[in-house]
Amino acid sequence: MSGKTTIYDIAKQLNITAATVSRALNDHPRISQDTKELVLKTAKELNYEQNKLALALKSGKTYLVGVVVPYINRNFFSNVIRGIEDELYPKGYRVIISQTHEEEEKEIETIKSLLNAQVDGILMSISKPTTVTEHFDMIIKKNVPLVFFDRKKDIPGVSTVTIDDFEGGYKATEHLIQQGCKKIAHVSVYLNIGIYKDRFEGYKKALLDNGLAFREEYIIQTESQVKAGKKALDDLFKLNDKPDAIFTSSDHIALGVMQQLKKKEVKVPDDFCVVGFSNEPFTKFMELPISSVDQSPIEMGRMSAKVFLEQINSKKKVKIEKKVVLPPKLHIRKSSLKE
Amino acid sequence: MSGKTTIYDIAKQLNITAATVSRALNDHPRISQDTKELVLKTAKELNYEQNKLALALKSGKTYLVGVVVPYINRNFFSNVIRGIEDELYPKGYRVIISQTHEEEEKEIETIKSLLNAQVDGILMSISKPTTVTEHFDMIIKKNVPLVFFDRKKDIPGVSTVTIDDFEGGYKATEHLIQQGCKKIAHVSVYLNIGIYKDRFEGYKKALLDNGLAFREEYIIQTESQVKAGKKALDDLFKLNDKPDAIFTSSDHIALGVMQQLKKKEVKVPDDFCVVGFSNEPFTKFMELPISSVDQSPIEMGRMSAKVFLEQINSKKKVKIEKKVVLPPKLHIRKSSLKE
DNA sequence: TTGTAAGCGTTATCAC
DNA sequence: GTGATAACGCTTACAA
């Protein structure tokens, strides 16, 4: 029989009970050494493998953790998952991946499905359009640990792992100021989304802390796309008092900006500096590499996993609510580094 | 009670048996319409949800599929997984991700763990150093469908999904020839690995088919790294008869080549053309975008999933061994497109 | 130190 | 049409 050995088979072989076999296998204290050895030996002989399913049904623990992201093939998310898997695998947990495709409905459906699969926990990044919270309540009501990473919602009892977007914006802007830039514009992705708002606020604070004026006309809101970056630069250059630097919340926008600067024959970094956000792989591969704020996705994944583990290992009834905020790391490259 | 309703609770409520409830829930033909409606109604009232675990234990089907890759955060693999998940989710399958970190030992361990978790199938890309095959035999012996994608081994009974690397090399080279290049060099990643060998062979064939000489001195073997690309170009330019184009098996090498060409002030594409392989995101973002052969990772994932589904849905005893070869797509960009 | 038996939640096979 | 019962493979009081 192909790998279908059960503890009963071992029991029969040794003329003992399945219970004894189970205990021997689990190194139960009051099982004789002899029996243990015997059981272990025949278990090996018969190619016995514990059926996790039966165990899960009995114990209610599946050692399965659901990870929910908008799209798994986005650089940021695949790195977070990398971190989660790296951390959880050694602890015996397996990771189930699902994508929401940035749709609220699919997010809800996915959560239901994961709960149905009896996962021991859910780590997720909320999809953009999501507004309802009933599906989160379902998770909490079932006492399944829930951890939000990056994109969160403030819900009692739910832990979150994020980076300090405010500090990211602050650092990037401060760096530009240190480089001697005086008129720093900010191109943001839609400001109604928390993380982008925070980056913007960090930018603003850095300006004020350094005695620079905040100018409304230097703020542009647009999509995270290369062509949006191009247009943003064009618009900024139509101003009478042109900026001499841009901090943007998106590397793709930064790229568009860079391309347009090249076209206009503006010298970077001598006459204009650029800093992006996310540290996408391409930023360092450019002919003129782009400075960017790194979000430490792998670290974020590891941390989310750790928070989950703490939660699951604590006395069942204690609700831990942890808010981890990771420091962003500014990668300074040629696009903003004057000699 | 939080989501712990079982069919017994429903049965008790209605003064019928669990068996009847089960049948009603499964729309069994000889259950009265009345009972069905009643059961469905109270099921909803009590917030009943089927326990997949119990079902899995009973049926032996978990609706879990294991996906094994070297690293999940590599662009190529995360895209394949995207394809797999997209295809499998609607069919009710959930995807468990594990990474081998390019280690044979971890690969073996991972396989064991997945089999232990009773997955219904395994889709994987073999890690580079793997030489043994016992762990694959384990999978086959358990009658668990196994599909290799991209990196495969020829094992009887195992389906594979790959792209036609030979054709990829052929197309890329042919394109360069059509652009008027006469002296095309090839920078490869180590030729002892199947896919790179195939790309090389395609290159060679294209040369010969078009009446161009194959020259040993135009072949360089190196690592898939930017700096390796730089060095390769330097070496090629030391030749008396310099090449006028390069087809390389790696986009990172292509990038290094491009950077070095820029440094040497060689005009691309006018005086020199470059084509890479993999269609990494950065290739299209460059100031001078790099032509590259796309491996259709999402499509590869979808196809692997489809092959798995066919296998699982066929009459149990029929062993299907399918070899799917996807066509590569050449993306022609500025680095190889003369006016 | 080991055996007995119940239980985890379903479904399938007999009955009636 | 519906009920009883066994079975999936394991763990764990409770006995012995």
User: Does residue B2 sit within a domain?
Assistant: no
pLDDT on residue B319: 73
Q: CA torsion, points B2, B7, B13, B17, in degrees to nearest 10?
A: -160
Q: Name the phi and psi angles at B161, rounded to 5.
A: -130, 120
Average pLDDT over residues A247-264: 97
Q: How does residue A316 score in pLDDT terms, banded at 50, 70 and 90?
A: low
pLDDT on residue B315: 64
Average pLDDT over residues B195-223: 97
B282/A281 touch (CB, cutoff 8 Å), yes or no: yes
How far apart CA B309 and CA A236 sit, in angstroms, is 53
Q: How far is CA B326 from CA B191, B302, B311, in A?
A: 21, 11, 19
Q: How does residue A3 score in pLDDT terms, banded at 50, 70 and 90?
A: low
Sign of the CA dihedral A133, A136, A141, A145?
negative
By CA distance, what is A2's nearest residue in B?
Answer: B142
Residues B159 and B215 in one domain: no
List of chain B residues whose C-beta atoms are within 8 Å of the C-beta of residue A280 = 281
| More confidently predicted of A186 and A2 | A186
A99/B82 touch (CB, cutoff 8 Å), yes or no: yes
Number of H helices, E strands in chain A: 13, 12
Sign of the CA dihedral B44, B45, B47, B49?
negative
The domain that holds B79 is classified in CATH as: 3.40.50.2300
Residue B138: pLDDT above 50? yes
Amino acid found at A306: K
Q: How does residue B2 score in pLDDT terms, banded at 50, 70 and 90?
A: very low
User: Does residue A37 sit within a domain?
Assistant: yes
Q: How far is CA A315 from CA A304, A318, B1, in A?
A: 19, 6, 20
Please check whether residue B300 is in contact with residue B75, taking contact to mean a CB–CB distance below 8 angstroms: no
Length of chain B, please?
339
Q: How far is the CA of A22 from the C1' of C15 (A)?
A: 35
Residues B175 and B272 in one domain: yes
How far apart CA B179 and CA B177 sit, in angstroms, is 5
B79/A73 touch (CB, cutoff 8 Å), yes or no: yes
pLDDT on residue B1: 38
Residues B188 and B302 in one domain: no
User: Does residue A2 sit within a domain?
Assistant: no
Please check whether residue B152 is in contact with residue B126, taking contact to mean a CB–CB distance below 8 angstroms: yes
A57/B54 touch (CB, cutoff 8 Å), yes or no: yes
C-beta neighbour count of B1 within 10 angstroms: 8
Give the pLDDT confidence of A122-144 residue by residue, as tens digits: 999 999 888 899 999 999 988 89
B142 Cα to chain A: minimum distance (Å) = 6
Helices A7-14/A33-45 angle, 10° precision: 120
Q: How far is CA B155 from CA B80, B103, B148, B257, B309, in A?
A: 22, 20, 10, 38, 19
Average pLDDT over residues A97-113: 95
Please check whether residue B206 is in contact with residue B169, taking contact to mean a CB–CB distance below 8 angstroms: yes
Residues A290 and A307 in one domain: no
Q: How does residue A320 score in pLDDT terms, banded at 50, 70 and 90?
A: confident
Residues A95 and A25 in one domain: no
Residues A284 and A183 in one domain: yes
How far apart CA A263 and CA A247 sit, in angstroms, is 19
B72 Cα to chain A: minimum distance (Å) = 6
Residue of least CA–C1' distance to D8: B58
Q: How many domains does chain A have?
A: 3
pLDDT on residue A315: 64
A94/B94 touch (CB, cutoff 8 Å), yes or no: no
Give the pLDDT confidence of A65-99 residue by residue, as tens digits: 999 999 999 999 999 999 999 999 999 999 999 99
The beta-carbon neighbor of A117 closest among B79, B94, B281 is B94
User: Does residue A229 sit within a domain?
Assistant: yes
Average pLDDT over residues B301-311: 97
Q: How far is the CA of A81 from the C1' of C8 (A)?
A: 32
A151 touches strand D (CB under 7 A): no
By CA distance, what is B137's nearest residue in A?
Answer: A2
Average pLDDT over residues A196-205: 97
Average pLDDT over residues B264-281: 97
Instruction: Reduce the DSSP state of residue A188 to 3 states and report it.
Output: strand
How far apart CA A81 and CA B96 sit, in angstroms, is 12
Note down the domain range covering B72.
Answer: 61-163+297-326
User: Does residue A336 sit within a domain?
Assistant: no
Residue B87: pLDDT above 80? yes
